[in-house]
Protein backbone atom coordinates (compact mmCIF):
# COMPACT_ATOMS: atom_id res chain seq x y z
CA UNK A 1 0.00 0.00 0.00
CA UNK A 2 2.79 2.42 0.88
CA UNK A 3 4.54 1.51 -2.34
CA UNK A 4 1.47 2.46 -4.40
CA UNK A 5 1.11 5.79 -2.54
CA UNK A 6 4.76 6.66 -3.16
CA UNK A 7 4.48 5.61 -6.79
CA UNK A 8 1.38 7.82 -7.25
CA UNK A 9 3.13 10.81 -5.65
CA UNK A 10 6.27 10.46 -7.74
CA UNK A 11 4.55 9.86 -11.08
CA UNK A 12 1.91 12.59 -10.71
CA UNK A 13 3.89 15.41 -9.15
CA UNK A 14 1.70 18.10 -10.78
CA UNK A 15 -1.33 16.90 -8.79
CA UNK A 16 0.72 16.88 -5.58
CA UNK A 17 2.01 20.44 -6.19
CA UNK A 18 -1.51 21.65 -7.02
CA UNK A 19 -2.86 20.07 -3.83
CA UNK A 20 -0.08 21.70 -1.82
CA UNK A 21 -0.89 25.11 -3.32
CA UNK A 22 -4.61 24.72 -2.51
CA UNK A 23 -3.73 23.66 1.03
CA UNK A 24 -1.43 26.70 1.48
CA UNK A 25 -4.05 29.07 0.03
CA UNK A 26 -6.70 27.72 2.40
CA UNK A 27 -4.29 28.17 5.31
CA UNK A 28 -3.56 31.77 4.27
CA UNK A 29 -7.29 32.57 4.03
CA UNK A 30 -7.91 31.03 7.46
CA UNK A 31 -4.99 33.00 8.91
CA UNK A 32 -6.30 36.34 7.61
CA UNK A 33 -9.77 35.65 9.06
CA UNK A 34 -8.47 34.52 12.44
CA UNK A 35 -9.62 36.71 15.31
CA UNK A 36 -6.74 37.11 17.74
CA UNK A 37 -7.34 38.87 21.04
CA UNK A 38 -4.92 39.48 23.87
CA UNK A 39 -7.50 38.38 26.44
CA UNK A 40 -10.23 36.39 24.70
CA UNK A 41 -13.56 36.19 26.46
CA UNK A 42 -15.17 32.78 25.97
CA UNK A 43 -18.27 33.79 27.90
CA UNK A 44 -21.46 35.36 26.54
CA UNK A 45 -22.48 38.92 27.37
CA UNK A 46 -23.52 39.21 31.02
CA UNK A 47 -25.02 42.40 32.43
CA UNK A 48 -25.32 43.15 36.13
CA UNK A 49 -28.15 45.46 37.12
CA UNK A 50 -28.19 46.88 40.63
CA UNK A 51 -30.66 49.05 42.49
CA UNK A 52 -30.01 50.53 45.92
CA UNK A 53 -32.66 51.64 48.38
CA UNK A 54 -31.08 52.04 51.82
CA UNK A 55 -33.30 51.08 54.72
CA UNK A 56 -35.35 48.39 53.00
CA UNK A 57 -35.18 44.77 54.08
CA UNK A 58 -34.24 41.99 51.67
CA UNK A 59 -37.90 40.96 51.36
CA UNK A 60 -38.96 44.52 50.48
CA UNK A 61 -36.14 44.82 47.95
CA UNK A 62 -37.30 41.55 46.37
CA UNK A 63 -40.93 42.67 46.22
CA UNK A 64 -40.50 46.27 45.04
CA UNK A 65 -37.29 46.17 42.98
CA UNK A 66 -35.95 42.72 42.09
CA UNK A 67 -39.13 41.04 40.83
CA UNK A 68 -40.24 44.04 38.70
CA UNK A 69 -36.77 44.22 37.12
CA UNK A 70 -36.79 40.47 36.38
CA UNK A 71 -40.24 40.63 34.82
CA UNK A 72 -39.34 43.74 32.82
CA UNK A 73 -36.12 42.22 31.48
CA UNK A 74 -37.65 38.87 30.54
CA UNK A 75 -38.88 39.94 27.04
CA UNK A 76 -35.51 41.46 26.11
CA UNK A 77 -34.25 39.97 22.82
CA UNK A 78 -31.43 37.46 23.23
CA UNK A 79 -31.85 36.84 26.96
CA UNK A 80 -30.98 33.30 27.98
CA UNK A 81 -30.96 33.47 31.76
CA UNK A 82 -31.94 35.91 34.52
CA UNK A 83 -30.74 35.39 38.09
CA UNK A 84 -31.24 37.70 41.02
CA UNK A 85 -30.34 38.23 44.63
CA UNK A 86 -31.78 40.67 47.13
CA UNK A 87 -29.92 41.95 50.16
CA UNK A 88 -30.61 44.59 52.76
CA UNK A 89 -30.99 47.76 50.66
CA UNK A 90 -29.61 46.16 47.48
CA UNK A 91 -31.20 44.42 44.52
CA UNK A 92 -28.87 42.55 42.17
CA UNK A 93 -30.01 41.08 38.83
CA UNK A 94 -27.66 39.22 36.45
CA UNK A 95 -28.83 38.88 32.83
CA UNK A 96 -27.07 36.42 30.49
CA UNK A 97 -27.43 36.81 26.73
CA UNK A 98 -26.91 34.31 23.90
CA UNK A 99 -23.44 33.74 22.49
CA UNK A 100 -22.57 36.03 19.60
CA UNK A 101 -24.67 39.01 20.69
CA UNK A 102 -22.80 42.31 20.64
CA UNK A 103 -22.17 43.89 24.05
CA UNK A 104 -23.52 47.31 23.06
CA UNK A 105 -26.64 45.77 21.50
CA UNK A 106 -27.32 43.82 24.72
CA UNK A 107 -26.73 46.92 26.84
CA UNK A 108 -29.07 48.99 24.67
CA UNK A 109 -31.81 46.34 24.69
CA UNK A 110 -31.61 45.89 28.47
CA UNK A 111 -31.74 49.65 28.98
CA UNK A 112 -34.78 49.98 26.70
CA UNK A 113 -36.54 47.09 28.48
CA UNK A 114 -35.94 48.69 31.86
CA UNK A 115 -37.20 52.08 30.68
CA UNK A 116 -40.33 50.73 29.00
CA UNK A 117 -41.33 47.87 31.29
CA UNK A 118 -40.16 48.79 34.79
CA UNK A 119 -41.35 51.51 37.14
CA UNK A 120 -39.49 51.41 40.43
CA UNK A 121 -40.59 53.19 43.63
CA UNK A 122 -39.10 56.62 44.14
CA UNK A 123 -38.22 56.91 40.43
CA UNK A 124 -35.04 54.98 41.13
CA UNK A 125 -32.92 54.31 38.05
CA UNK A 126 -30.94 51.05 38.35
CA UNK A 127 -27.33 50.94 37.19
CA UNK A 128 -26.22 48.56 34.45
CA UNK A 129 -22.64 47.35 34.22
CA UNK A 130 -20.91 44.60 32.29
CA UNK A 131 -19.70 41.42 33.89
CA UNK A 132 -17.06 39.03 32.64
CA UNK A 133 -16.69 35.52 33.95
CA UNK A 134 -13.02 35.64 33.04
CA UNK A 135 -12.48 38.75 35.13
CA UNK A 136 -14.34 37.62 38.22
CA UNK A 137 -11.57 37.15 40.72
CA UNK A 138 -12.29 38.23 44.25
CA UNK A 139 -9.99 37.88 47.23
CA UNK A 140 -11.19 38.16 50.77
CA UNK A 141 -10.26 37.11 54.27
CA UNK A 142 -12.62 35.75 56.90
CA UNK A 143 -11.72 36.85 60.40
CA UNK A 144 -13.58 35.85 63.52
CA UNK A 145 -13.18 36.15 67.26
CA UNK A 146 -10.13 34.33 68.70
CA UNK A 147 -12.27 31.55 70.20
CA UNK A 148 -14.09 30.87 66.89
CA UNK A 149 -11.51 28.46 65.43
CA UNK A 150 -10.44 27.60 61.89
CA UNK A 151 -13.01 24.83 61.47
CA UNK A 152 -15.87 27.21 62.20
CA UNK A 153 -14.41 29.82 59.85
CA UNK A 154 -14.18 27.21 57.10
CA UNK A 155 -17.80 26.17 57.73
CA UNK A 156 -18.84 29.82 57.53
CA UNK A 157 -16.93 30.15 54.24
CA UNK A 158 -18.47 27.01 52.71
CA UNK A 159 -22.09 27.46 53.72
CA UNK A 160 -22.63 31.22 54.01
CA UNK A 161 -20.08 33.29 52.11
CA UNK A 162 -19.83 31.07 49.02
CA UNK A 163 -23.61 30.99 48.58
CA UNK A 164 -23.85 34.76 48.98
CA UNK A 165 -21.15 35.34 46.35
CA UNK A 166 -22.84 33.05 43.84
- 78 neighbors 101 (Cβ within 8 angstroms): yes
- 87 neighbors 58 (Cβ within 8 angstroms): yes
The pLDDT tens digits of the residues spanning 64-98 come to 989 999 999 998 888 999 999 998 888 999 999 99
Looking at residue 79, its pLDDT comes to: 92
- Please provide residue 80's backbone torsions phi and psi, each rounded to the nearest 5 degrees: -105, -40
pLDDT at 48 > cutoff 80: yes
pTM, full prediction:
0.57
| Burial category of 13 from C-beta neighbours within 10 Å (exposed 0-12, middle 13-18, buried 19 and up) | exposed
The pLDDT tens digits of the residues spanning 109-146 come to 999 988 888 888 888 888 888 876 555 566 678 888 88
The pLDDT tens digits of the residues spanning 150-163 come to 888 888 888 888 78
DSSP for 103-159, written as a single string? HHHHHHHHHHHHHHH---GGG---EEEEE-STT----------TTT-HHHHHHHIII
- 86 neighbors 72 (Cβ within 8 angstroms): no
**Neighbour order of strands in the sheet with 79-87:** 79-87, 90-97, 46-52, 127-131
Amino acid sequence: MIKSILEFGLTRSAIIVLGLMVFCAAGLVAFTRLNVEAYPNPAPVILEITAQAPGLSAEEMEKYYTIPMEVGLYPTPGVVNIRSTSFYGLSFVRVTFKYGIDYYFALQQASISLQQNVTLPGNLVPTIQASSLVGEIYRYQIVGPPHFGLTNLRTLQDYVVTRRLL
